[in-house]
Structure 1
Amino acid sequence: MRALRRIILAKWFLTVLTGFSLLLIAGCSSMQHQQESEWLYAPMARPLQPTIQQEVKILRLSQLLQQKELSDEIRAKVFYERGNSYDSLGLKNLARLDFEQSLRFYPSQPEVFNMLGVYYTEINDFDAAYESFDSALELDPKSVYAGRNLAIALHYGGRPRLARDEIEQVIQQDPADPFSALWRYLIVSDIDADVAQQALLKSYQSHQSDAKEAWGWSLVAMMLGETDDSTVFKQILQETSDNTVLARRLTEAYFYLGKRYQMQDQYAEAVALYKLAISMNVYEYVEHRYAFLELEQIYHKIKDNHSS
């Protein structure tokens, strides 16, 4: 019996290693890249876990909410803070309830409307998402986050031209933001792939030397194929010693690499990369949130292809 268990364990271990090796190969864009790659498995971080500090913060905020003498504005802030804490732990429904409570006590909070818009986008309730983002932008017209998130919601909601118009306004406000440039590329690709490619390349050439946003422009270079995938992952590991930062950067890298493969109709590789992005537990990042939407889209597309 022990010998049989050893054989089963050995086979399982071999399967895991094979899976990681296949993922590595999928991440290389050519045979030359495969030969040059030094990776034996996909770079990973320790998945983020709840900390005692986060749990104590939620406890203290909950105790504070029991005090009757709090003003409405203070109570709204406490609900918002606890909602953020819930969100960082992946407790989305509890977070959403707290954000809604926060608005009930103090409605003039663009950041709360923005968060609710993201939640509605995640569950495909796009009309509610548009309304939330519009409210956020009405209160803070210069909010880059709300503008970009509205464009993303319009993109997932199947309104590519409106999404393009919205993301262009965001780019005008902050041309040096690499993540807005990436989302413009993803959005405009639904309309004209060549135009999207040229716009992203132009942004990259204009801002790649921006030291403040160097990491983001590395992701742009990876999306464009201007740098080898393994170079980006080497950069992550060489420049990052903190596990939380490592998990965040890997979440972003795996998501956008997954998008690149998905746009090339290489769905097996895209699915594997989206699952890696999710596995880091970086719940508050849109790359973690929207990886689920991308997996859902791939599922429906493959299902439709098989049924037709």
Structure 2
Amino acid sequence: MQKSIVFFIFISTLLMGCASHYDDSQSRAQMGNLLLAEPAPMNPRSQLAIARYSHILGQAELEDEQRAQLLHQRGTLYDSVGLSGLAQYDFNQAIQLKPDLAEAYNSMGVHYTQQMDFIQAYEAFDATLDIDPNMEFAFLNRGIALYYGGRPDLAVRDLGEFYNKNAADPYRALWRYLAESRIDQTSAIKTLAGLRKNLDEDNWATKLVDLYLGKVGENELLSALIGGVTSQQQLTDRLCEAYFYLGKYHTEKGNRGIASNYFKLALSTNVFEYVEHRYARLELNLLRDQTNEEESAVSQTQ
């Protein structure tokens, strides 16, 4: 692996600026060495495409359906470069023009989930699946909303449906596990171990499942991550995913400082369109809320 693609850095230099809420000394001791990559640059093609769509929307005479489709496409591009407010505005406009545009409802649902507006998110995903019952990723997105919204039993149903559509996909197995673990941790691990035999051995992310099952450690996971990497962008994409699931892994273990750092690293990749990037900030907010609640409870008892 060329040095221009990947390098090792001792994590103690990275953690100097961490929030005082977390135990940085524990983080430095346990996180060890990390793989870091350059944050993904703003895609110039996406920027040019946004400009073209904006020109067409501003100048051309369009039918409502055509305008709605273009607005959704531009909103998707806005999302891909991190302009979530503009994306949400376009999705809303698209729905106003074409109330049966399933893709726009799905996109809005994701934004509502990120904002922890779960009732709106459920309604958006329900509308998506009412219009298009076969939209596969709506099951993932609604399942995630239900998971964060504190309804794990319903999340398991949706994420199980999503998993069943491709049982070889380790990411699907992980999300199913995360939802089931909110109900019964021991049972969820047993189920995940059973799903492991179906997973694609050529997919590096299968090592993420092995991490949760205790079959590999973090160093081995990061070594597997760089296997077959041929570009900086591919490395950055993988690191976004790995950091998020490492954050979830340490959250489960109660290592909030380490989990927080991993979620921050996921955000630092700038892979805005990935599910893992979208929910890393939500995870950070949840960790901060838990810490603040505990500190408040302690202060009240003193």
Category of TM-score, reference length = shorter chain: 0.7 to 0.9
- 1:178-217 pair list within 5 angstroms: 178-209=170-201, 211=202, 214-217=203-206
CA distance in 2, matches of 1:17, 1:124: 29
Residues in 2 aligned to 1:68 and 1:279: alpha-carbon distance in whole angstroms: 38
Question: Which one-letter code corresponds to 1:285 in the other structure?
Answer: Y
Cα separation, 1, equivalents of 2:213 and 2:134: 29
Mapped pair 1:285 → 2:274: yes
Q: Hey, what's the Cα distance between the residues in 2 that align with 1:183 and 1:220?
A: 10
> How far off its partner does 1:15 sit?
6.0
Kindly tell me the number of residue pairs found equivalent between the two proteins.
281
CA contact (8 A) 2:105 2:127 kept: yes
Give the structure 2 partner of residue 37 of structure 1. none
With structure 2 as the length reference, what TM-score do the two structures score?
Answer: 0.86
Q: What amino acid is the match of 1:228?
A: G
The answer to whether the 8 Å contact 1:87/1:284 transfers is yes
Alignment of 1:100-249 (within 5 A): 100-209=92-201, 211=202, 214-249=203-238
Q: Spell out, residue by residue over 1:188-236, the C-alpha distance to the aligned partner (whole angstroms, 9 max, x if none).
A: 1111001110111111123243x4xx13322212222222222221222
Cα distance in 1, alignment partners of residues 47 and 60 from structure 2: 23
Mind listing any 5+ residue stretches in structure 2 that lack a counterpart?
Answer: 1-9, 17-23, 298-302
- The yes-or-no answer on 1:305 pairing with 2:302 is no
1:26 maps to which residue?
Answer: 30
The 8 Å contact of residues 169 and 200 in structure 2, kept in 1 or not, is answered as no
**Residues 171 and 204 of structure 1, relative CA distance in 2, 3 Å threshold:** same
Q: Distance in 2 between matches of 1:18 and 1:144?
A: 39
The amino acid that maps onto 2:168 is A
Residue identity in the other structure for 1:279: S
- 1:113–1:133 Cα contact (<8 Å) kept: yes
1-structure distance, mates of 2:11, 2:174: 37
Letter in 1 for 2:241: E
Flag the 1:17–1:190 CA change in 2: closer, same or farther, 3 A: closer
- Is the CA contact (8 Å cut-off) linking 2:11 and 2:34 kept in structure 1? no
Equivalent AA in structure 2 for residue 77 of structure 1: Q
Q: Which runs of 5+ in 1 are unaligned?
A: 1-12, 29-40
Task: State the partner residue of 1:66.
Answer: 58
Equivalent residue letter for 2:215: E
* Cα deviation 1:12-61 (Å, max 9, x = unaligned): x9962676997675247xxxxxxxxxxxx421111112133222211111
Segment drifting more, 70-79 vs 88-97: 70-79
Identity across matched positions, percent = 38
Report the counterpart of residue 13 of structure 2 in structure 1.
16
Change in Cα spacing, 1:22 to 1:239, as seen in structure 2 (3 Å) is farther
Aligned amino acid, residue 91 of structure 1: L
Conserved 8 A contact 2:143-2:154:
yes
Aligned to 1:269: 258
Distance 2:118 2:271 in 1: 23
Give the whole-Å Cα distance in 2 for the aligned partners of 1:116 and 1:109: 11
Instruction: Supply the AA of the counterpart residue of 1:260.
Output: Y
Which runs of structure 2 are paired with 1:248-267 in the superposition (5 Å)?
Answer: 248-267=237-256
**Which one is further off, 218-227 or 129-138?**
218-227
Q: CA deviation at 1:299?
A: 1.1
**For residues 92 and 11 of structure 2, what CA distance do their matches in structure 1 show?**
48
Secondary structure in 2 matching 1:59: helix
* Cα 1:242–1:22 shift into 2, 3 Å: farther
The structure 1 segments of at least 4 consecutive aligned residues displaced by more than 6 Å after TM superposition are: none
Kept in 2: contact 1:223–1:256 (CA 8 A) = no
Counterpart check, 1:89 vs 2:81: yes
Secondary structure of residue in 2 paired with 1:43: strand
Give, in whole Å, the separation in 2 of the partners of 1:191 and 1:51.
41
Is contact 1:96-1:116 (8 Å) kept? yes
Q: Which has the higher helix share?
A: 1
